[in-house]
Structure 1
């Protein structure tokens, strides 16, 4: 019997149904002989079944799609978007593979009538299922705004199979209901690799902040009259985690900050609310080694966001790379390859890669060789939710509401700054013109505080997969159309980028002209890694300098194929035309039918 029950859960979670198939967005596979009475009989069954949902948890390792990335050599969605390559005829999704995760969740929630166990025990697993349903719909709202809300695993003759979208306002409230149920009923004492009450409250606060700020800044939704409700929910949920969860900001210094992302284990770390365990013994790995100069590099825009150690904004933009990290927020050295950084602490100092801008990401890169065993075989543990984000949610929501005070800053932002030895943020902080330029539509009673919280969020949570959503909810999508840059190069020639006093790379006009390094001693010249603006045939390489023979590293593709971000259209994605042909009740939003 146990073997049959395990077959049952595997089939349901993979999408196999008990009905005939139909080629629609909730298509189901052919009938099987597996029937409901084999499962959902005990709370152990519910635990086994909900364990299958955990594969849906994200493994955030980078900020791809956002302005934190300078350039990349892989296909990313926003790059296609701003270059006009996405339409209702080319965009995928909305098919069975897209919706089967929801069907698996709803199948369990629709089949609880035979479960034996106490109600609190049953509700614990119901809460976990509703947590994952909320996460599913959170992603759908971000993409499509209006989506059909389903609470059952639909069968072929169900009248709702071909219904249209429900309004965003309705679905968002349903997500709130799911997350509130999860927070009220999921146990608080589970291991932090499992969904706990605190994980549910964290997702609730994340969703409420997103929806509240999205409504505030996106007038096209006609929901600006109902954004403060969500921000107050974000404050309440985050406050509960802060005051009742027993979590604390971990460590003292940049090394402890860095260890949150490259450590062997996060077990017992009091900052981590939810984490994913990667272990070679279990053959469970990720691809964190790819973050360093393999597919992408970080942007000058991100690098310039890090404050000086005295708390003032960084403005010395033409500072040589070898000294760029001097007297800067220590989190910068925990995120970007700095002069003197060596892989796994080895003797060979890392040389930056100018063809990708020079700002290589080291956040999440494994700290030891045994954690890096080949292509996509990295085993450092990855945080999914951590207290730092919760603190920043609390601070930002209060700033948007206009209620934030110095005590709030001391309980949130200043705890993060204290960890790395940065000065406190004060309510009287000066308005930084650079932040006003980045976010010209931001509004708050104390605008300078709100903008500094946005800066703090950017640097503290850099590369954790949140920046793109932040730009979308702040209606700052125009930043994605900007051509991002890399390091500053004062002139063609050789440079020390490892901080050892010896030049180690050279940037030259072409392979036919090495005159800028003519005076470099021959042994040093032989050891140089050379990069050229043009190839032997005189053709442009992938990068150039913004001033010709000097300037910031820029990228040829952006110059030849400029980006355009169309508002409000590009804050959403199109439903594929084929799905609308199958169901004419589905409607495109915000111009995607053009």
Structure 2
């Protein structure tokens, strides 16, 4: 019986690190295929185990690339990444579960009755392999379980990216075709989740191929066209819309909602006190325990003014202090970070930014709910895995990259996001006539007749999706890893002294040299210059500098793909290493 579930196991060890240690943790791992999969309930029960593939809450909100920075830096920012011995995301447990199902689902039920369950399994296989392609490029494609002793499969080489991506699309197209389109669900994958995934996959692959010509991957236009088509198919159903209430609250409400807002959320991870399933987002944003996350200055500068003009076109925009820089901006800024007048949900007390919880001073409030959830690991608001806003952004970006975008396309995509917060839409002609030099300086690979509007769509994507963990993969597909090597910055202060950040007549921050002022005033945040706070120009002022003495590096010849772990290449000598990752083999 075990031969059906002995997947990716070699005598004496696992060919894929991480596989064997999970074998006994899967409750269904000991089932006999001839004794299970006898009815639809059993198929559904088995498929429920596949949802563990989706990220946990921390995997969504805990973004720390260059949108959000912390007191410490990860190895992916410092250039200290090395080839791991084991692990390194080269894990295949989920694939074993999926392929086992696909090999055994049809022992009793007729194909037509079972195909909607097959569609779910193929959705998850597409999701699984998309993650692997993003990380590693070429990977072995396994379309069925591997029996013990099948040396050909256990020791196969990496298949080409082209073959794997084509196989991914075959799976997701099957899912779209066979899933029932009559209903939507924020708890279970549906035809609409599959369309959203296809939109995401094809945008990634199309832009990756376009902006990485050194990899000689053909057909980028085909993938972008498929992203457009998947996005249009979802948009045309009328099943989803952008959630609105009032411009000053709607964006925040979407992410603070305990239950997922079904107008916009296609699929979410949910939490509850009753089921004792929680996450930690409130505590993460209000304590110093998790690196004091804060928005980075370049992103803050990128938010437009409320009338749609550019903040960075204002003379000496880079020396504007906090209160003034937050006035009359895109309302999403004040619904993402604490700005003057901010109060917690359910309270009226006005709170200034707390540098004790935010290293940049731009303290996060997206996903933050009321005070009753502030204790460690007690938040229960839902976390979006797919939402309609991303599909609209994918649609606009893919059409712009293809040179097909029209103002009408923007009116049915980006405009809906801007309408939520009372912002004017992108004017395509104006954007292309005068591309924003500030955003253009970030994305040097963008050129051509649509340069201006592509830059604006990238601005929109960054603002709309911040803190939802898209940024790393966006930079990878756009070939913009160099942005990770910039000096990260926070608020601007003109020098030492006392600052009333929210203009309520009370000092919030006191930056000093020498001895700490005595007596200290309650409620004031004191920072000694050079030790507790670092400004660009010392006592002469400047932006808060984050990790000035930690070098950030990104190897353009290596770091767009991750390395294959050493143990895997020792066990399977046919596995090649990704370019310029030295593992000594």
TM-score, structure 2 as length reference: 0.90
Partner of residue 528, structure 2 = 532
Q: Matched residues in 1 for 2:377 and 2:159: separation?
A: 40
Deviations 1:316-343 (A, max 9, x none): 2322212322100000111112122233
RMSD: 2.5
Choose which of 215, 233, 241 in structure 2 pairs with 1:248: 241
1:393: how far off? 0.4
Give unpaired runs (5+ residues) of structure 2. Answer: none
Partner of residue 580, structure 2 = 591
Partner of residue 545, structure 1 = 535
Residues 589 and 426 (structure 1 numbering): CA distance in 2 closer, same or farther, change over 3 Å? Answer: same
Residues 91 and 325 (structure 1 numbering): CA distance in 2 closer, same or farther, change over 3 Å? Answer: farther
Q: Matched residues in 2 for 1:401 and 1:392: separation?
A: 14
3-state SS, counterpart of residue 69 of structure 2: strand
Partner of residue 420, structure 1 = 421
**Matches for 1:187-266 after TM superposition, within 5 Å:** 187-188=180-181, 189-223=183-217, 225-252=218-245, 253-266=247-260
Give unpaired runs (5+ residues) of structure 1. Answer: 1-7, 535-539
Q: Assess if the C-alpha contact under 8 Å between 1:287 and 1:378 holds in 2.
A: yes
Q: Matched residues in 2 for 1:313 and 1:239: separation?
A: 30
**Matches for 1:506-517 after TM superposition, within 5 Å:** 506-510=510-514, 512=515, 514=517
1:302: how far off? 1.3
Partner of residue 282, structure 1 = 275
1:81 aligns to 2:69 (yes or no): no
Q: Matched residues in 2 for 1:547 and 1:394: separation?
A: 43
Partner of residue 369, structure 1 = 371
Q: Matched residues in 2 for 1:34 and 1:451: separation?
A: 52
**Matches for 1:480-495 after TM superposition, within 5 Å:** 480-495=484-499
Partner of residue 350, structure 2 = 349
Q: Assess if the C-alpha contact under 8 Å between 2:139 and 2:161 holds in 1.
A: yes
Deviations 1:134-180 (A, max 9, x none): 11111111111010001112122112011110011111111111111
Deviations 1:221-269 (A, max 9, x none): 101x3100000000000001101142111114131111110112225x3
Residues 402 and 91 (structure 1 numbering): CA distance in 2 closer, same or farther, change over 3 Å? Answer: farther
Residues 17 and 471 (structure 1 numbering): CA distance in 2 closer, same or farther, change over 3 Å? Answer: closer
Partner of residue 297, structure 1 = 294
Q: Matched residues in 1 for 2:419 and 2:9: separation?
A: 58
Choose which of 566, 570, 574 in structure 2 pairs with 1:581: 570
Choose which of 307, 310, 314 in structure 1 pairs with 2:307: 310
Q: Assess if the C-alpha contact under 8 Å between 2:496 and 2:511 holds in 1.
A: yes
1:66: how far off? 1.9
Residues 34 and 239 (structure 1 numbering): CA distance in 2 closer, same or farther, change over 3 Å? Answer: closer
Partner of residue 66, structure 1 = 65
1:357: how far off? 1.0
Count of residues paired in the alignment = 557
**Matches for 1:442-481 after TM superposition, within 5 Å:** 442-481=446-485
TM-score, structure 1 as length reference: 0.88
3-state SS, counterpart of residue 105 of structure 2: coil
Q: Matched residues in 2 for 1:233 and 1:204: separation?
A: 8
Residues 130 and 579 (structure 1 numbering): CA distance in 2 closer, same or farther, change over 3 Å? Answer: same
Partner of residue 553, structure 2 = 564
3-state SS, counterpart of residue 254 of structure 1: coil
